[in-house]
Structure 1
Amino acid sequence: MKCLRTVLLILTLCLSNFSLAQTAIITGVVLDENNIPLVDVNVSTETKGTVTDKDGFYILKIISEKKTSITFSHIGHEDVVLIDLILSSNETFEFNPILKEGITQVDGVTVSASGEKRVVGITTISPEVIRRIPGANAGVENILKLLPGVNSNNELSTQYSVRGGNYDENLVYVNGIEVYRPFLIRSGQQEGFSFVNPDLVQNLTFSPGGFQAEYGDKLSSVLDITYKKPLEFSVRANASLLGLSSTLETISKEKNLSTITGIRYRNNSVLVNSQQTKSNFNPTFVDIQSFLNYRISNKVTLGILGSYSLNDYQNEPLTRQTNFGTLDDPKALLIFYEGREKNRFQTAQGAVMWSYKPHNQLNLNLTTSLYHTTEEEYSDIFANYELGAVDTDLNSDNVGGAIGTRGIGSQFNRARNDLDALILNISHKGSYSKNSELLEWGATYSHEDIRDQLRESEFLDSLGFSVRPPRQEFENNQPNEAFDEPIIPFDGVSAQNFIKTNRFSGFTQYSNKLEWLGHHMYYNLGIRAQLWTVSGKNVAKSNHTIVSPRGQFSIKPNWDMDMLFTFSGGLYQQPPMYRELRDREGMVNTDVKAQKSVHTALGNEYSFLLWTRPFTLKSELYYKKLNSVNPYTLEDVRIRYAAANNAKAYAYGAEIRMNGAFVPGTESWFGIGYLKTEENINERGYISRPTDQRLNFDILFQDYVPNIPNLKMYLNLVYNTGLPGGSPSYADPYNFQNRLRDYRRADLGISHIFVDANTTYPKKHWLHGFKELNIGFEIFNLFNNQNSITNTWVRDVDSKREYAVPNFMTTRVLNLKIGTRF
């Protein structure tokens, strides 16, 4: 550690800075029993204080990482005392107390110094951590991939799998609005952004399974994002070699209207050009999002969320050389390309949210949202390949190149795919609370209108002969006998689908907190139901219904140790979206049923002090039994389903995560997870599923130089054992159970924070106008590991064997960045 800090000190020429105590903010509105804002309420700690304005609004800075008691007092009302509040650095905590006559209220809130809030089955992550941690796709998903049970072997993608599920099995909400994955994207390098803009995030919670009935019908996980309600005018700007972003926060003088708007631009050239395929790459990834919150009255609030994104991806591949094999038998694949790939993904989404709170116990919400995407995938790629040995003669001018050709061939890929999707949602949610009891309910109507034209073909040529699909009807005896049938693609799909789906879903759940023999207990019981109808052009109309009971239970024993035990589970069912209805030939099967998973999880959370600093150790065991499984193949980030419920599967595993202040004033963690998931297709026996990750190990570590606390380091390390490597087209997956190499990656970020909430400068200083200023650099794939995501399959002319040639990901890349806020 001393060595690291010395190196960091030498690397950076630093300015002198005033190092002040770390702070956090508590804010909210103080009301009386009639929900009328109270003016001139005293809000005070032992050392600081403020008063509410005419709207009952207050804001108070407190010392972070330290227990603080806050008192709300007003003439004619009894005090409200908030005890033992612990906030992390730069955190904003909202608390809206109600002052009553004749009763003193004492509320205990525990928010650990590491940002962990005690909610059953939920992990809470600080937005500041999200913005700081380095990664090729820095943001929310970059942090999720460092959690046990969450896996991703593709740094170019924001997609992730959870406990053996695929990308389509994850729920994502932003301010209660469900977010959808693109339909046609097949490669991680075609993704510009995640929908979630990290500069707009206020709260983030994540559950890897066993979640409550209020969340939708998916099998694996829930990511629930809340965007900010600004407290002051602010402008944020960030720039790096990968792109630009800017955020504008506004609030009216009366503090009843606030807006936050973010715009982002990204160019992945720095990352993609580090891959082994050399190309002319011209991408444009742009998006803009805005959230407006208007408090019409003390009882009614209006929210509007709008977003627009454009991914214009153009790529002209030139050459590629991949060396693979063993030390005794090294091989090389050399490819020369012609043609280009042009994809365009344009998405717009809008939502209006009404919230009505007639009294303190009852809350009613109505939300309408409209999602529209148009996606185009056009490509004509011609590739000539040469398979041979590797020249290992160090004196040769061609050392490392291909020699001794053993296979020559060509491949032509063509795609003309167009998709237009419109999704409408209307939902109502409500809650009623009384003492420690809480009743919640909701109902949603969804309409999906999908128009899809799929035209893909792949032609293979070997030594002048067109390779036909390996099916019985195409057997021939060339070149001994003439074969004059027309040339057809080795793999081809042509389909046109117009599909409409109507869904009616609802839920109700009841939760309560109680005490038994000094032990604190919490439980939640709920049930979901969904009815959906699928219809369309030239397909049979079908109706389906599902019911999903779920429950969570936790107990905090009355022990000296701060220990919490949790149990969650239920029947989780996933009705098919359009992608799951479409088979590998492009045809739609409306009879596809919901996939079912009986999910149980048993967890433990132990909070303790180590080196006088707070730490938390979390562990969890889980098991999932899946029926009516819809098998799929996974290539990069494209999923293709069988569109048939002809398999069963299971997944089980264990996870351990320890987080806390390993270095004072910072949050770090390490986690380890084990997963095994297999499926049985048509009763042929169990084989590994495409997401059978097995072992996962990750570390997120933050540090700083003691004498220069504003010089900070962020390091994340990931190790995953290899995923199944897939199989060639038309091949039986039961005959191809080889695995990709293990995934190892380290990303390092070092930045100097010149200005933040804890560092100020006098008016005449050149940094006085900044609220935040930081400059730094990131090194992606620090140790330059060769990681692969898929295989390219090529044929040896002599032995007729097919070789799995790994498609390697990005190499070591340097990124410079600067961030400001005014």
Structure 2
Amino acid sequence: MLALFGWGALLLSPTAFAQNNWGEVAGRITDAGAGSPVISATVLVEGTNFGTAADEDGRYRLRLPEGRYALLIRAVGYEAQTDSVRIRRGTTITHDVALAQATFEMEGALVEGRGVEDAVGVSTIDPEDIRAMPTPVADALRGVKVQLGVTSNNETSNAYSVRGGGYNENQFFVDGFEIYRPLRTQQGEQEGLGLVNADLAETLTLYAGGFPSRYGGKLSSVLDVSYARPTGPIGGSIYGSTLDGGASLRGGLADGRVGLAIAARSARPRRFFATQELEGVYDPDFRDVQGLIDVQLADGHDLHVLGMVARHRFRLEPSQRETTFGIFPNQLRTVAFQFDGLEEDGYDVYFGGARLTNRLSQALRVEHSLSYFETDEFETYDVAGDVTLFRLERDPDAPPNDPFEAIQTGQARQRDIGDNRVSVQTLTGGGRYRLGVGRHAAETGWHLRRLTFDDRLFETSALEGRDEMGNPVSVTVDSLNDAATLDTWQAAAWAEDAWDLLAEPGRLVVTAGVRADYFEFNDEWTVSPRFSARYRLSDLTTLSVATGLYHQAPTYRELRGEPAPGESILGALNRDLESQRSFLVTAGAEHLFPNTRFSLRGEAWYKGFDNLISYELENVRVVYSGENDTKGYAYGLDLQVRGELVPGLESWLNYGFLMAREEFQEPFITERNDGTRARPTDRRHNISLFVQDYVPGDDTWSLHLRTLFGSGLPFTPPAVGDVIDGVSVFESGERSNGRYPEYFRFDMGATKRVRVGRSPAGRPLMLRLTAEVLNVFNMKNTITFDFVDSGEGFFEGVPTRLTPRTVNVRARLDF
């Protein structure tokens, strides 16, 4: 823990790594015409955020390691200038700069994504930072977990929550095509690799609130990933570790009119999963291949094609598990599980999309797209388990090393059988039209989507025990066997305009838009107006606000809920279910400290919810009620310190506070959910940290630290229900009456970069060798509880713990 606080302090101390091999450059920045100082002009190492700013006299001073650098000098109202300087150890060189005033021609300019990087609730993620993060497998979605407003409590899963939202309230786009997460995963080990390949990505943009009108269908966030356009000579990468591997190729053909890229990944993290308390034979096998083609049909007319194929399998033969928990020394418990059986889960993904872009003039761009997404999921299991609960006792006067006496207090046997399958096909067509006129950047668009669900459920769960006479009994507590097919469609249209209001370009930009959605299954129209504004108070400070309505049409699993015993799947589908709705208000400010090049960012937000569909979390599975049974609210504050300790390596520290509450509505109120309750995502405090730095004196070595901390999430403990033939059956207890322990994880890695030659295309061959320690402090994080009949009239919660300390090594060659 001391190391964490030490690295956190370094974020605020940019001179902490100044060494003897550093020098500095200093000078004065002036107006090329008048010769007057240019106040607050920035001086950056090109391609990084490392640098400084000029003072009131236009003077600047910047310390850098010895070497040659390209410095980017810029200021509002002036043409940017790039100069090359040579830094020598222990010396100060003088470099004065005269900037020429810029001329602006706004008429007819097409404005695209102006100000995205500093809009409220928006974070831009560099794929290079994701590759540097110490994580079990190369999965870009895991890099989102350390962004502003994001929380997570499970390293085996790539799911995350944004500002009090549920795991299913996040939307994902790759190159403008919507992609989807699997529906049926019960635990993080089954999820595999997220469908975002960092080796193909150019930028990842996370909208944590106030997102534009073109995005719709989710309440909490949008992750929009742009893959890099393949150009130039053939290049790529290949990597491998003890847990995963992959390769990519990209380049241009036909004199640059055609660009091709392909990437493949494979992960077999059995050693990582097998470190958990549940012993057995783990066999995860996750693979995917993605490719894209860019074709310039003619000047201003381009065709973009993206394809994905993924195959994820998870097989487990559980054998045994022993968990000790409680309070030392007098309230300790041990539970022993003995299993026999087999679990096999998996899903396949097939995706193809094409987009035709036509730039009809400098100001008008037209896009039309067509895409198909299919996922086929299955879960099969036949697992029986014997559970024995022991109370550990020891004479309080006994020596500390005396063993405990194990006294059996409860015993049960449960058998679960399941064979569930679901197939989802999504066909989407759409258009987007953008026009830049004067100080306006306007756009409108539409999409039409066909959805088909084929669902089959067969599952049964039985508790086994003995009656009062000692005779064996079996009680079926859950059983379902049914199949159904659903066909439906959705449509949406939107319009939006961004208006640059003041004479100084970019000083005040106001965006207003509206979105309309229709869902055929429940015959529902929704309208979502949205508004945002960004004001540059100075060259160093930006203020921003956003507000609007957001709707989330019911997903298939929300429509279905949990079918009651004897109820069919189609009978469980609720055609009266309405879209969940959120009213959002958020305001933020960001200030750059010019002498350190660190920025401080703060955002306060409030969400009011109605028509909510209540749910409970079981590991990573979300179990829905299938009813609009609650309303609620959430509010919070997010703070971030961000900057570069050394050129080219960005670091940041996030802190978030949130409160999320819900209130059940008539006729769904019971004595166990009455009143205002915590939502399942009510994580009061959240801290995430990512630090990168070079080893002093040798910038071929770099260190990478990643930390996640979150206070405990609420859960609903069970209550003793009916006793059938001597076997206690539990039912839902007081809603959100318990909290899991806090989640804390600290991962670190060290990378050595070696130049091993040049590729045939003339590019340098860079080899990166990395060693990682995951969960450095070996924290025993709890993801859920298994509840066991104590034999004393209540259920004992047995923690299911996540992975302990793990060592991983990886190698990567870029060419």
2 CA distance for matches of 1:260 and 1:772? 20
CA change 1:627–1:754 in 2 (3 A) is same
CA change 1:522–1:768 in 2 (3 A) is closer
Question: CA contact under 8 A between 1:258 and 1:294: conserved in structure 2?
Answer: yes
1:732, distance to aligned residue in structure 2 (A): 3.4
Query: 1:820 aligns to what?
Result: 813
Query: 1:431 aligns to what?
Result: 434
- Select 2:338's aligned residue among 331, 336, 339: 336
Q: Any idea what SS the aligned residue of 1:216 has?
A: coil
1:662, distance to aligned residue in structure 2 (A): 2.9
Question: CA contact under 8 A between 1:388 and 1:402: conserved in structure 2?
Answer: no
CA change 1:284–1:519 in 2 (3 A) is closer
Moved more, 253-262 or 811-820: 253-262
Query: 2:615 aligns to what?
Result: 632
2 CA distance for matches of 1:139 and 1:86? 37
Q: Any idea what SS the aligned residue of 1:129 has?
A: helix
What does 1:130-145 align with in structure 2 at a 5 Å threshold? 130-145=130-145
What does 1:306-705 align with in structure 2 at a 5 Å threshold? 306-327=307-328, 328-390=330-392, 403-462=406-465, 464-465=466-467, 488-515=475-502, 520-534=507-521, 542-557=522-537, 559=538, 562-585=540-563, 586=569, 587-609=572-594, 612-682=595-665, 684-705=674-695
Answer yes or no: is 1:66 the counterpart of 2:72. yes
1 CA distance for matches of 2:758 and 2:171? 47
2 CA distance for matches of 1:698 and 1:626? 27
Query: 1:83 aligns to what?
Result: 80
1:105, distance to aligned residue in structure 2 (A): 5.7
Question: CA contact under 8 A between 2:247 and 2:264: conserved in structure 1?
Answer: yes
TM-score of the superposed pair, with normalisation by structure 1 = 0.81
1 CA distance for matches of 2:361 and 2:261? 28
1 CA distance for matches of 2:334 and 2:402? 12
1:120, distance to aligned residue in structure 2 (A): 4.7
Query: 1:11 aligns to what?
Result: none
1 CA distance for matches of 2:215 and 2:575? 25
1:556, distance to aligned residue in structure 2 (A): 1.4
Question: CA contact under 8 A between 1:687 and 1:734: conserved in structure 2?
Answer: no
Query: 1:290 aligns to what?
Result: 291
2 CA distance for matches of 1:401 and 1:490? 35
2 CA distance for matches of 1:588 and 1:415? 21
Question: CA contact under 8 A between 1:238 and 1:817: conserved in structure 2?
Answer: yes
1 CA distance for matches of 2:504 and 2:73? 28
2 CA distance for matches of 1:768 and 1:555? 45
Question: CA contact under 8 A between 2:123 and 2:148: conserved in structure 1?
Answer: no
Moved more, 400-409 or 599-608: 400-409
Question: CA contact under 8 A between 1:81 and 1:106: conserved in structure 2?
Answer: no
- Taking only aligned residues, the RMSD between alpha carbons, in angstroms, comes to 3.2
Query: 1:775 aligns to what?
Result: 769
Question: CA contact under 8 A between 1:334 and 1:402: conserved in structure 2?
Answer: no
- Select 1:795's aligned residue among 780, 789, 794: 789
Q: Any idea what SS the aligned residue of 1:144 has?
A: helix
Identity %: 27
Question: CA contact under 8 A between 1:337 and 1:383: conserved in structure 2?
Answer: yes
1:239, distance to aligned residue in structure 2 (A): 0.2
Q: Any idea what SS the aligned residue of 2:129 has?
A: helix
Alignment gaps of 5+ in structure 1: 5-20, 26-61, 70-79, 88-102, 108-114, 466-477, 535-541
- Select 1:806's aligned residue among 796, 799, 807: 799
CA change 1:393–1:259 in 2 (3 A) is farther
Query: 2:750 aligns to what?
Result: 750
Query: 2:20 aligns to what?
Result: none
2 CA distance for matches of 1:508 and 1:763? 48
2 CA distance for matches of 1:166 and 1:271? 27
Moved more, 307-316 or 586-595: 586-595
Q: Which amino acid aligns with 1:307?
A: M
Deviations 1:692-719 (A, max 9, x none): 1110011111111121111000001111
Deviations 1:10-48 (A, max 9, x none): xxxxxxxxxxx97649xxxxxxxxxxxxxxxxxxxxxxx
Deviations 1:367-419 (A, max 9, x none): 11101111111001100011002477999999888821111111111111011
Q: Any idea what SS the aligned residue of 2:199 has?
A: helix
1:649, distance to aligned residue in structure 2 (A): 1.0
CA change 1:742–1:502 in 2 (3 A) is same
Question: CA contact under 8 A between 2:219 and 2:582: conserved in structure 1?
Answer: yes
Query: 1:221 aligns to what?
Result: 221
2 CA distance for matches of 1:287 and 1:819? 19
1:633, distance to aligned residue in structure 2 (A): 1.2
1 CA distance for matches of 2:766 and 2:199? 13
Question: CA contact under 8 A between 1:451 and 1:498: conserved in structure 2?
Answer: yes
Question: CA contact under 8 A between 1:137 and 1:157: conserved in structure 2?
Answer: no
Question: CA contact under 8 A between 1:82 and 1:106: conserved in structure 2?
Answer: no
Question: CA contact under 8 A between 1:203 and 1:225: conserved in structure 2?
Answer: yes
1 CA distance for matches of 2:253 and 2:394? 70
Moved more, 591-600 or 720-729: 720-729
Q: Any idea what SS the aligned residue of 2:734 has?
A: helix
1:590, distance to aligned residue in structure 2 (A): 2.0
2 CA distance for matches of 1:626 and 1:116? 26
CA change 1:752–1:770 in 2 (3 A) is same
CA change 1:571–1:117 in 2 (3 A) is closer
1:461, distance to aligned residue in structure 2 (A): 2.1
Q: Any idea what SS the aligned residue of 1:145 has?
A: helix
Q: How many residues align?
A: 707
Q: Any idea what SS the aligned residue of 1:360 has?
A: coil
CA change 1:734–1:130 in 2 (3 A) is same
Question: CA contact under 8 A between 1:579 and 1:641: conserved in structure 2?
Answer: yes
Q: Which amino acid aligns with 2:543?
A: F
- Select 1:716's aligned residue among 703, 706, 713: 706
1:253, distance to aligned residue in structure 2 (A): 4.3
Q: Which amino acid aligns with 1:299?
A: G
CA change 1:22–1:623 in 2 (3 A) is closer
1:140, distance to aligned residue in structure 2 (A): 2.5
Q: Which amino acid aligns with 1:255?
A: G
2 CA distance for matches of 1:86 and 1:191? 48
Deviations 1:455-492 (A, max 9, x none): 22211123x24xxxxxxxxxxxx669x999xx552123
2 CA distance for matches of 1:303 and 1:449? 26
